[in-house]
Amino acid sequence: MIPKAIEWLEDRLRILDQTKLPQEQSFIDLTDYHDVVLAIEEMRVRGAPAIGVAAAYGIALGAQGIKSESKAEFFSQLDQILQAFSTSRPTAVNLFRAINRMKKIAAMSGSIPEIKEALVNEARRIHHEEIQATSHLSQLGAALIKDGFTILTHCNAGPLATAGYGTALGVIKAAKEQGRRVSVMATETRPLLQGARLTTWELKQENIPVTLITDSMAGYFMHRKKIDCVIVGADRIAANGDVANKIGTYTLAVLAKENHIPLYVAAPTTTIDFSLLSGNEVPIEERDSQEVTHIQRMPIAPEGVKAANPAFDVTPHNYVTTIITERGIIKEPYEKELAKIARR
Ligand code: MRU
């Protein structure tokens, strides 16, 4: 069984350290919200929905630690906590959605002890909703997977990334549970190898056959008709259906279109950002270049060489065959269809 990625233990937050997987299953107990911010920045907890859930619990934890009995002082310290989380990782919109919900619930509640309790309850609610949404969208999306399919996936969009059922991997798991034979090709996902380290680990535990490939092998297998569909998750979906996801997704989308292979994006509606007209407006996280010049801290490039490290890219909506959400499976015209599911 896959251990819980995130667990709230009343006075602390327990996370499975994803940087240590698959070699080591090690848990970290966080009692200070600064450490939760750091765990998100260092990607000990990662994946858009999981980042939102971890931040919500982290904010509740931070609020518990505020000692002041003055409400003005309490809100001023709470603002600092919210601010710290808002700069942790910029691309996944689930983070900002969670921060806004926590801010709103604090403003609506009464005394300081009541606010603290309301914040814990709201974090629990956010977590529960992600579990429900990812489980439901997976059941819906499974209908797209036919018996015998080989599915290409990128990065990691399973239980670890969602603190729930999974999105892209959730759809694959649900197809298997519904009795279809499926197999997966997982890209290693440089630079941080979420595919090699996490996706293959999760799939092995689900007894789903998986073949690990390097990112650059995807076109070879598509051209040889070894892939039936591509499924990925998303970090932010703009109102027009453009999808920000792990760097390399755009490359896979172009290759898929060229080879007439459908590209499915699986994401809860918490990943849709209706305030952005297109993917051009998505803030793309640029991470430390050492993640490129090194693999697992081992240098692989000449010392001092310049390296770029955008963590995400944007796939224009015309490359996306279908977006799978818990409120339904939608196709072009995305602007209209996404607006419709927002009203549902
Ligand atoms: O940088 P990461 O590992 O947080 O990136 C994760 C992804 O890009 C996932 O595909 C995305 O968050 C969807 S997870 C359900």
State whether 27 and 72 are in the same domain: yes
pLDDT bin (cut points 50, 70, 90) of residue 36 is very high
**189 token code pair:** 């996902």
Inter-residue contact 255 to 230 (CB < 8 Å): no
Strands 210-213 and 183-187 come out as parallel
Inter-residue contact 158 to 249 (CB < 8 Å): no
194 lines ligand 1 (CB under 6 A): yes
Domain boundary among 135, 161, 192: 135
The reply to whether 1 falls in a domain is no
Helix (H, G, I), strand (E, B) or coil at 64: helix
State whether 120 and 142 are in the same domain: no
Averaged pLDDT score across all residues of the chain: 97
Q: How many Å apart are CA 39 and CA 55, to the nearest integer? A: 10
Number of independent structural domains in the chain: 2
The reply to whether 79 falls in a domain is yes
Task: Note the pLDDT tens digit of each residue in 80-117.
Answer: 999 999 999 999 999 999 999 999 999 998 999 999 99
Q: How many Å apart are CA 306 and CA 283, to the nearest integer? A: 22
162 lines ligand 1 (CB under 6 A): yes
Helix (H, G, I), strand (E, B) or coil at 213: strand
Task: Note the pLDDT tens digit of each residue in 270-308.
Answer: 999 999 999 999 999 999 999 999 998 999 999 999 999
Backbone φ and ψ for 138, nearest 5 degrees, come out as: -65, -40
Q: Which of 18, 42, 194 to mutate to test the pocket of ligand 1 (most atoms within 8 A of CB)?
A: 194
Q: How many Å apart are CA 155 and CA 235, to the nearest integer? A: 11
314 lines ligand 1 (CB under 6 A): no
Inter-residue contact 106 to 117 (CB < 8 Å): no
**207 token code pair:** 């007894």
State whether 247 and 303 are in the same domain: yes
138 lines ligand 1 (CB under 6 A): no
Nearest residue CA, atom 2 of ligand 1?
A: 47
- Residue 282, classified by CB atoms within 10 Å of its CB into exposed (0-12), middle (13-18) or buried (19+), is buried
User: The domain spanning residue 275 has which CATH number?
Assistant: 3.40.50.10470
If you average pLDDT over residues 62-69, what whole number do you get? Answer: 96
Residues 216, 23, 233: CA angle, nearest 5 degrees: 45
State whether 163 and 291 are in the same domain: yes
pLDDT bin (cut points 50, 70, 90) of residue 253 is very high
What's the CA-to-centroid distance between 47 and ligand 1, angstroms? Answer: 4
What's the CA-to-centroid distance between 46 and ligand 1, angstroms? Answer: 7
State whether 107 and 246 are in the same domain: no
Structural domain of 100? 6-135
